[in-house]
Every structure is written in structure tokens, then in C-alpha cells.
Amino acid sequence: MQMQWSSADLAFRDEVRAFLDAELTADMRRESQLMTSVYAPHDLCMAWQAKLHARGWAAPAWPVEYGGCGWTAAQRYIFASELAAVGAPPLSPMGIGMCGPVLIGHGSPEQKAHYLPRMLTGEHLWCQGYSEPGSGSDLASLQMSAVEDGDHFVCNGHKLWTTHANEANWIFCLVRTSQEAIRQQGITFLLIDMTTPGVEVRPILMLSGEHIQNDVFFTDVRVPRANVVGKVGEGWTVAKYLMEFERGGGVSTPGLKTRLDRIRGMAAREADGGGGHIDKLAGFMSRLNALAIEIEALEAVELQILANMSQGEAPGARSSMMKTVGTELSQRLTEMALEASGAYGALYQAHAARPGGAVPGYPIPHDQGHVGPDHSITVAAKYFNDRAGSIYAGTNEIQRNIIAKAVLGL
């Protein structure tokens, strides 16, 4: 796809580049290149968010009155492209990217005034309490209870696969406030302070070795009724609105394109010991080019959704399409990276990388040396980590069901 930017867009691009040149340090760029997860390490994430917030750029998608940028769809795409091109670390999405839009759309004035500024500064770091044992893709079957007791709810239950619950100080939860014949009814969207007595976090180690996911147990946790977002018993409506932003409210194709270009370079170096004779990899490059075409097709849809969102529209059911296609393309890129790395792709070198969380048993800091070329350090860990992409935020099988019903009318 060839895009023609206006002179104002080009001026904005230059402004972004100047900011990145000044604020994104060499150490930050190097750490970002060594990431093995879709999440940046906590210290790197917070340092970068502080710089973006100081410039007023931490939440490009938010309305200006809540601390957003008021950018056009083109500007948001340019910003994402420039961040991807230089390898800027991603921000944690649970607050600014997910809970923030929900509060803007469904929160009370008091909730917006209290929580949104603290999301921008990073004072509040959020995690998502949705999945439970037996309630993952079938989320409406969730059973964590919240029983009214005066001006509070008393919460009991168990959430799992809770990303960064070990670092977050707030969690937004779906809880069951009543048992109804239709399971989607009787669910409430609740904000819970993680420091409240009765909240316990236990680690879950991922296949890649990282501690990013957690079990969270709630035992008689008292939560103020004022922390309900929307209406009691109507949390499913709020949750569906949030999932539109979780699945398709961002910009993913610039990052996919950047990763694809890096794999081209990896393949060239591996083919000739650093030479660059791509013609030796005709079959591999043909498959990579086919991926590039699919990414450009996704980009066209993503730009249309961005344009609609800049006019105040939510992503809608198309978010399921974006989530499905985006995560499957990402997984295919990790497979191509493994192939391009040759034998070095079989090595797991967490000690030399920057995982999204602690990796028990591996030394820190990550300066212990590594085997093989630099581009091979992260490929194995990224491959393992990205297996979750087609599962989190609702499995891709569930997304296809949503598309069939809401888009195709089947």
C-alpha cells in the first residue's frame, strides 16, 4: 500500500522523529530490541510512559478533555509507525488501552476525574480480572461472587492468567452479583484496589519461563459500591465495549511490517554468513512476500477503523477480525524468524534478553553473553510467548464465531 501524506502529516512525522531522537535513549532501544514478550519489562515500560506523558502523548486515542492528543487517524498511524521503526517499547495496555476507554465511555464523572489522570502518570498500574478456572472463552460462566453489604460488595473468587497482577495496584474485574437464567445478566464491572485485605497473587510461569501471568484469589474482599462501572448487573455490556478496544482499538500493522523487514535481514545474513545473497532463499522469501501482502491488507482495514474511531465510533465487531488476523500473522512471523535463524533459533537464551517479567533461574542483569548472532537471541522465546496470541483476549475460534454472527449474519 502506498500512502500519500499531506504536508501537515509530514511535519507531524518530523516532530515525532525529533522527539524520539531526543527522548528514546540508546539503552531503551537496545532493551526494546531484546524483548521476548508483547509486554515490555516493568521498569522500561514505566520510564517510557513518563516521557510520553510529559509530552502529552501517553494516550493518543483518548479525547483531548481527558488527556488525549486529538490526533487524526493519519497522525495516529504515523505515530505508531515511527515508534515501531525505532523499536520504542510498548506501554502496558490494561490501563490506557482498555480500562481508560471504558471509563470514558461508561464511567461516572467522579471515576473519570479520579482514575484517568492516574492512569496517564502510571501512579495506577492496572491488570484485567476476567478469566477464571472453567471460564475462559466461555466468559459468561464466570462465578466470582460480589455480595452487597451496605455501601460495599464482598468479593470471593479466583481469577487466573492475570497479566502483571504481581506489579499492578488496581484490577478491573467482572464479578457475579446475581444468578440469572441468562448468564450474561447478573455480571457487574468492578474496580478493585489490589492492596485491599483478602487479595492474594500467586505466580504462573509461562512456557517461555517468564513470570507475567498470575492467579489472583479474593477472600472476603470489601469493595466500595462507588467502584461499579455502569450499572450493577449490566457489566457484560461494559465488558463487550472494553473488548472492542482490547481486540481492535490499536495499531498493529506498523509493528508487523517492522518485524517482517528484520526477518528479511536475518535471512540474508544467515544465507551467506553475513553477505546478503537473498536469491539463495527464493522459497523462503516468496513465503515472506506473501505475508507482506496479507499485512498490507490488514493495514487497509486498520486505517479505516482508525478513521472511524477518530469520528467517535467504537471498533465494533470488526475488532474480532483485527484480533484474529493480527495474532495469526504475528505467530507466522515468529515461525519465519525461527527458520531464518537456522540452528541458533533452537537456543533459549533468556539471560541475554529482556523478557516481560522475571525468569526464575536465569541471571540478571542480562549481560552474560550469548551464543550466535544478535538477531537470534530472542527468536525462540518470542516464538513460545506468541503461542498465546491466538488465545488471549478471546480465542480466535470465539472471534470467528462473533464474526459469523455479527458481521456475516449467520
Please give the Cα distance from 204 to 210 (Å, whole number).
9
| 246 among known catalytic residues | yes
Q: Which residue has the cell 456475516?
A: 408
List the catalytic residue out of 246, 270, 302, 339. Answer: 246
Grid coordinates given for 331 = 505467530
Give the CA angle between residues 158, 161, 164 to the nearest 5°: 105
> For 229, phi and psi rounded to 5 degrees?
-100, 125
| CB distance 83 to 254 below 8 Å | yes
| CB distance 199 to 216 below 8 Å | yes
List, as own/partner pairs, every contact residues 360-363 make where C-beta atoms lie below 8 angstroms and the sequence separation is at least 24, other chains included. 360/205, 360/209, 360/211, 361/209, 362/209
Grid coordinates given for 3 = 500512502
**Chain centre distance of CA 401:** 22
User: Which candidate, 232, 233, 249, places its Cα nearest to that of 241?
Assistant: 249
> What single DSSP character describes residue 354?
B
| CB distance 218 to 144 below 8 Å | yes
Cis peptide before 365 (omega within 30 of 0): yes
Grid coordinates given for 211 = 513470570
Which residues participate in catalysis according to the annotation? 246
